[in-house]
Structure 1
Amino acid sequence: MTTLIAWIAFDNKFAAAYMASDSRITWDSQGVKRWDAGRKIFASKTYPDILGYAGDVVFPALALSQLIEAFDANTMFNSDATPWERHEIIKRSLKDSYAHRHHTDDRDFHILHLSRWDGEPRATVHAWCLEYAAAGKAWTDRVLEIPTSTGIIERIGSGVPAAKTHERLWAATYSREIFSSFCDAISSGTDSLSGGAAQLAGFYPRGVAKTFGILRDSKAFLNGLPVHAPISNSTIEWRDHLFQRIDISTGKLLEGAQVHTRPKGK
């Protein structure tokens, strides 16, 4: 299935919001038949919006890639659309697209939507979980509560129990600890339906959403895809499993980047 999480980070005010997932696509209930490089998170290059999915793969993966391209071609909504307006259009578009399926199996899935409102006096984060339940052919749209200090917004998927266990081991109270505990949960193999490299996207108080590259065991990944380092002209931010800022051309920390460490016993 998947492990998909979203969280918000504060220093003394809102600093960032993130979404992370694993990269494993499975064709059986044990995770034996699998692909560990499947994309699950989609970040807009023109809006502070991020979409991710858990559950069934075919429809969400294809539909979200279409939606994000439509976002970035400015064909989905006006440039001044609010997060609530954007979410309603996303929801309607997904339902309309799903109605074009014919003689195919129905399976449950979840779509996580993370967004930002650039209002006054400060930017605010908003999130929703759109769920499809195959048994009743029913859609449910949940507005998610946003923490007022650094913390998890939502966890979805078969790997949630493992993610919670590793959060406790890390005493995950900082953004970097949330991400590191998430990576440990995936790497642990506790959930056989989650695996591969972590995927990460986020946004800050200003600007559009960003996709982050991941350095894992000295190998570079983008949206789950293995890419060949060294890469001297990369235009994105890179992080490792400790959430450290990486110079991907060298595989080492960026000059001046903060050093993060594991807690004792980890």
Structure 2
Amino acid sequence: MTLIISWIGVDDKKEGKEISSIYIASDSRYTWGNAGKFDFGIKVFGSSKYPEIFGFCGDVLFPSTILGQLIPQIDNGLLLNDHDNCDTKNEIISGYIKTSLDTYPKGFLAGTFTILHGTRNGKVFKLFKTSFSPETGIKNEEIELPKVSKKVYSGGSGKTEFDKNWEEWEKEKHNDFRTSRGVYHCLYQTLKSIKDPQTGGLPQIVGLYRNKNSRLFGIVENDKKYIYGKESSENINSTTIEWRNENFERMNPETLKIIEGAQRQPS
């Protein structure tokens, strides 16, 4: 089933508090019941041409197939236009998901699934959730985003353990109270101790800032680099994406040290 979370970062501006970033993160484990596991499964997606990010939990085959179809069409300008607002973009995307599900053999769905869609138009950020269950069918809804940095969604079979841990981060005395990094800290520590056998591996993250399009984040752990849970042993061009450590500090992928001048975060 997995663990998927989303959170926002909020800045203080002269005009008041404004959302400055939105993230979708997940673990990296695919499972086939008790038959086996694969800790390099892709669960978060992003468009390189539009400010659209996605993630899913639950059934693996349908969401991963649909998102694999959506991203190339978005990137090639087939589905969205630059002038579309957030609601219009989600209406198009959720409609695509619904019509695809209409012809999908329901007997091959592994129960339920949820697909998150984060989007931005100008300075406006929005988050939507498309969910399916055999009992209620498919439903699309907007998730309200507050004007404070915090978790805005958690789901999947790892949700119970994450939410229990999250109670500590929600205490005002916590060093990471109401911070964007706090949600990632909780995710990282939850994955290190999680008991749910369907959730595991390293975190994977996509995000949106106020400018440009989706951003993929690499993970640095124990002087090694990971993308989608897999160690990047190949000779990759590491400088094209952002890298973060367990404290969500920005890392130099060539030296594997914290970037000079980057803000250090309490652990």
TM superposition score normalised by structure 1:
0.90
Within the alignment, does 1:224 sit opposite 2:229 as a pair? yes
Aligned-pair distance for 1:230? 7.2
Contact 1:49 1:113 survives alignment (8 Å): yes
Q: Aligned AA for 1:65?
A: G
- Name the counterpart of 2:138: 139
RMSD: 1.8
Q: 1:133 to 1:18 in 2, by over 3 A?
A: same
Structure 2 unmatched runs, 5+: 13-17
Moved over 6 A (4+): none
CA shift, 1:216, in A, is: 2.4
* Aligned residue identity for 1:241: E
Corresponding residue for 1:109? 113
CA 1:236–1:50: 2 relative to 1, 3 Å: same
| Letter matched to residue 114 of structure 1 | G
**Is 1:128 paired with 2:128?**
yes
1:160 and 2:164 are equivalent in the alignment? no
- The residue number in structure 1 matching 2:74 is 71
Q: Deviations over 1:7-62 (max 9, x none)?
A: 1111313221111100011111x6x6211110000011111111110000001011
1:181 to 183, 186, 193: 186
TM-superposed deviation, 1:191: 2.3
Aligned partner of residue 93 in structure 1, secondary structure:
helix
Question: Matched residues in 1 for 2:60 and 2:237: separation?
Answer: 33
Shift of 1:189: 2.2
Indicate conservation of the 8 Å contact 2:3/2:57, yes or no.
yes
Structure 2 equivalent of residue 201 of structure 1: 206
Q: Which residue of 2 aligns with 1:252?
A: 257
* Structure 1 unaligned regions, length at least 5: none
CA contact (8 A) 1:232 1:248 kept: no
Shift in Å at residue 193 of structure 1? 1.5
What's the TM-score once normalised by structure 2's chain length?
A: 0.89
Map 1:25-44 → 2, pairs under 5 A: 25-28=30-33, 33-44=36-47
| Aligned sequence identity (%) | 31
Specify whether residues 182 and 102 from structure 1 end up closer, same or farther in structure 2 by C-alpha distance, changes over 3 A only: closer
1:229 Cα shift?
6.8
The one-letter code of the counterpart of 2:149 is T
> What is the CA–CA distance in structure 1 between the aligned matches of 2:84 and 2:106, rounded to whole Å?
36
